[in-house]
Amino acid sequence: MRAGWVLTWCLIGCGAEIGGDEDTDARPAAAIDAGVDLPDAVAPADAATGEMQTSVFSVPDVIDTFVRLSEPTFNFGARDRMCADTTTDDRRILFHIDVSALPVGTQVVDATMHLWTGTSTNDLSTQTFSFYPLLEAWDEGNLDGVAGTASWNERKPGTAWTVTGAGVGSRGEQVVGSFTPAALDTDYAVALDPSVVSGWIEDAGSNFGLVLVAAGQDGGCFDTTENATAGKHPTLVVRWIAP
């Protein structure tokens, strides 16, 4: 999944004026409706060293799956929805985003992860969901609820997670983005710590992706890269300035 696509367009220096008295909200409409707080538009001074650009990473640069405590050897890489919760049946969602198309030395202005909640009444949640950086490599797998990897027990065939379920030790302890998916069938735009993406660009070997963990028992579900509706696939939007 390395031969991905990257859509890039010019935001500054292509005849578009930034500033003035007009009060604009740069967030996507669905995110505004959902109450998601995104970074403000970057002022021209922030782009003084070069032209700011935006790259959108989606399928096939984004892969995803989830792991499940109650089915610790099962893989769900082919499923079209993924869930996270913290109960006696924990589920955690894994993402990997290949950003190698961006040049080393790139200044990452901001990075936003887009996730669509599902349409089932169980797909929303009023609790906080948080992203953590993964510290170990894993396989997405292409199965749907049968034995395979990645699973709760194993990150690769025959290779266990340091801590099962991509727990702390297999993931970092620092939250790099969080949100509350309280509405159904909604695009949530989640601001990620730009330094995480910068680290992936500078050292591709350190890019093991992210894990999404729910704060409590009120789980939520999202559309995956296997979902039939391409516009609802997980997507990472990066605004950046070339070195």
Q: What is the pLDDT of residues 38-53, one digit of tens each?
A: 343 333 334 445 899 9
CB atoms within 10 A of CB 70: 11
Lowest mean pLDDT among 32-41, 137-146, 194-203, 204-213: 32-41
Q: Which residues of 117-140 are buried (b: 16+ CB within 10 A; e: fewer)?
A: bbeeeebbbebebbbbbbbbebbb
pTM: predicted TM-score of the whole model, two decimal places: 0.81
- pLDDT at res. 7: 40
- pLDDT at res. 50: 80
Instruction: List the alpha helices (DSSP H) in the chain.
Output: 29-34, 194-202
- Selection from 214, 226, 238 nearest residue 90 by Cα: 214
Distances (CA, A) of 129 to 19, 32, 124: 34, 18, 11
Mean pLDDT of the chain: 85
- pLDDT at res. 47: 41
Residue with structure tokens 């869930």? Answer: 83
Q: Can you give the residue ranges of every domain in the chain?
A: 6-241
Q: What is the pLDDT of residues 154-209, one digit of tens each?
A: 999 999 999 999 999 999 999 999 999 999 999 999 999 999 999 999 999 999 99
Which residues, 6 or more positions from 221, have their beta carbon under 8 angstroms from its beta carbon?
Answer: 81, 82, 83, 84, 117, 118, 120, 122, 123
Mean pLDDT calculated for residue range 21-28: 36
Token pair listed for 211:
């894990």
**Is 5 a residue whose pLDDT tops 70?**
no
The gap from C-alpha 179 to its chain's centroid, in whole angstroms, comes to: 12
**Is 32 a residue whose pLDDT tops 90?**
no
**Side-by-side strand order, sheet with 52-57:** 6-10, 52-57, 235-241, 107-116, 187-192
Distances (CA, A) of 170 to 132, 135, 136: 10, 5, 6
- pLDDT at res. 216: 86
Q: What is the pLDDT of residues 63-103, one digit of tens each?
A: 999 999 999 999 999 999 999 998 878 999 999 999 999 99
- pLDDT at res. 88: 76
Task: Give dist(CA 241, CA 243) in Å, integer.
Answer: 7
